Structure 1
């Protein structure tokens, strides 16, 4: 696919873009910005975005069922996080950002591999997805990354960006051009997130030596 093909496709995609996709992208960007500021609004904005994407990606036109399921998972976690943040008491010690040990990396790998197999089998046997391998891989690697993120491990950014990297051409293929460019934006944010977290880990090591 040439640059001209992508440009022409983007023009057509923007012309055909639904208002639902535009709203989902807008609130996804807002959610990322609020996350950077550690603001509780990361959750309501994320709920709106993931809720729309859960519906949008599961529609017959796109058939990205594993990605839709992943967004449903994000939706549930956003509700949980919002409730937890809203009712928590005084400031609690922040969990330190650390490097993953061998066991944690193996666990994340197993989550991704098993998730890939499970998603693939479900898509092949219980859906009409025409991209089961790619759709399953994007969701499975994101699940591995989310597990590491919950542990505040530096390597979560790598796993999430593997998912983002594969998701971009898949989204272009499905003519979700605005969402594809959103994913490119998230990829860039993750690169800077990795650099920032790595710097924090280095500073912590200096303090504890």
Structure 2
């Protein structure tokens, strides 16, 4: 297949927008806003993220990406949890905000184990008992996304590394399912995740420096 030339990019993007459903367009807009706010360390990412989860629940169900559809319900639960944690999850005073920290080793270990179990188990069930498209790929990206969202909700820096990895996989998966606008969205998410990692590392380093004075 010949590569797209620069002159082909804009027409292809416009065609993707025209082909997208209104729900997918709304999901793209709220998705970009949510990730940008999270990268900027803003608590407003949570209400925008809850709206985004509801929109993509419908979009993914219609595309027979059932694991990703179910993922949106889990995301909404984690977003509610994260909203409360960011407000009142810090040590010390009751209303202390949650600081950015690194992921403890035991947390990383049990998340990896749970993710592998989910990806294998859900992938098998979807492959054998549904008409799911890309069941193992879909279940694996779901497992990584859940782990990343949990780490974000607990304000652990490494959530952005997981998002970077899974965003690459999502770009290919959504393109394959002809969700071209959503595939392009995940290219944007990939850049935002890299920015979020840089921004949070800078804030963590600044907090560590301030703590030594």
Give the structure-2-normalised TM-score.
0.81
After superposition, the C-alpha distances for 1:31-86 in whole angstroms (9 at most, x for unaligned) are 3344436254x344323321121111112xx221111111121233345666x59x
* Contact 1:28–1:46 (CA under 8 A) maintained in structure 2: yes
Task: Please tell me the root mean square deviation across aligned C-alpha atoms, in Å.
Answer: 2.8
SS at structure 1 position matched to 2:4: helix
Counting only pairs closer than 5 Å after superposition, residues 46-195 of structure 1 correspond to structure 2 as 46-59=49-62, 62-79=63-80, 84=84, 92-195=95-198
Q: Secondary structure at the match of 1:4?
A: coil
CA contact (8 A) 1:24 1:52 kept: yes
Q: Does 2:201 correspond to 1:198? A: yes
* Per-residue deviation, 1:180: 1.1
CA–CA distance in structure 1, aligned partners of residues 142 and 177 of structure 2: 16
Length, aligned pairs only: 203
**Gap regions ≥5 residues in structure 1:** none
Question: Equivalent residue for 2:4?
Answer: 4
Whether contact under 8 Å (1:123, 1:132) holds in the other structure is yes
SS at match of 1:97: coil
> Quick one: which of 38, 42, 47 aligns to 2:42?
38
C-alpha distance in structure 2 between counterparts of 1:73 and 1:202, whole Å:
31
Query: 2 CA distance for matches of 1:100 and 1:13?
Result: 38
Compute the displacement of 1:9 (Å).
5.6
Please say which of residues 134-143 and 123-132 is displaced more in the overlay. Answer: 123-132
Any gaps of 5 or more consecutive residues in structure 2?
none
Partner of 2:100: helix, strand, or coil?
Answer: coil
User: Structure 1 residues 177-186 or 143-152, which shifts more?
Assistant: 143-152
Cα distance, 1:153–1:46 mapped onto 2, change above 3 Å: closer
Q: TM-score, normalised by structure 1?
A: 0.82
The alignment partner of 2:208 has SS state of helix
Q: Do the aligned partners of 2:36 and 2:192 also contact (CA within 8 Å) in 1? A: no
Check conservation: 2:78, 2:150, Cα contact below 8 A: no
Relative distance call for 1:157 and 1:207 in structure 2 (3 A) is: same
